[in-house]
Amino acid sequence: MALAVDHQALKTKILDFLKANNSLWDNGARDDPLFFRSMELGSPDANKIAARPPPALWITADDILEDMSPASGNPTTINSVEFMKSIVHYLIIFVAQERDSQRVEERLDTLQMEIIETLRQRFRLANDVGNDWLVNEMMPVQIGVLNRNLTGKNQQGRVIRVRLETYLGLD
């Protein structure tokens, strides 16, 4: 029984599901700006975002990574095992580039829609059979502009804040 959240495993599972979406990723087979050219774990280097060939995506920790509390206000006991609730927060950061700001915004809208649909289809981070879910629920809770100073430019980005809820057994 897990006693702590394995953040790397959760972020990796999210990345795997995003890469499995053929509308987002073609594993670099084509040099097509419709697909992400890179998808990585970890925070992007702010000084090198512009150097990365867009579109590019990163999954990283939010400012507040994890909130922990007793399940339902008190530790919940099932078969003599106590459970604690853990709410985890990640950011999905992505950037795109087009000839002008209107087209880049359209590209971001399309990528965002595909990301959100993928997250909603895999809301428990389970395989296709659904028997190996890692979290009770995962949902996007907020979408914002990556950097307001890039508005109106031909390279822009977005940030999707994702909330995951899981229960940890306390042996």
In this prediction the pTM is 0.85
- Phi and psi for 67 in degrees, rounded to 5? -110, 130
What are the C-alpha distances in Å from 12 to residues 54, 90, 93, 139?
21, 12, 15, 16
Give the percent of the chain with pLDDT over 90. 32
The pLDDT score that the predictor gives to residue 77 is 55
Strands 38-41, 56-70: pairing kind = parallel
Q: How many angstroms separate the CA atoms of 58 and 12, rounded?
A: 11
The count of other CB atoms within 10 Å of the CB of residue 34 is 13
The pLDDT score that the predictor gives to residue 28 is 63
Task: State mean pLDDT over 130-153.
Answer: 80
Q: Which of 15-19, 128-132, 155-159 has the lowest mean pLDDT?
A: 128-132
User: Does residue 168 or residue 170 have the better pLDDT?
Assistant: 168
Confidence check: pLDDT of 115 > 50: yes
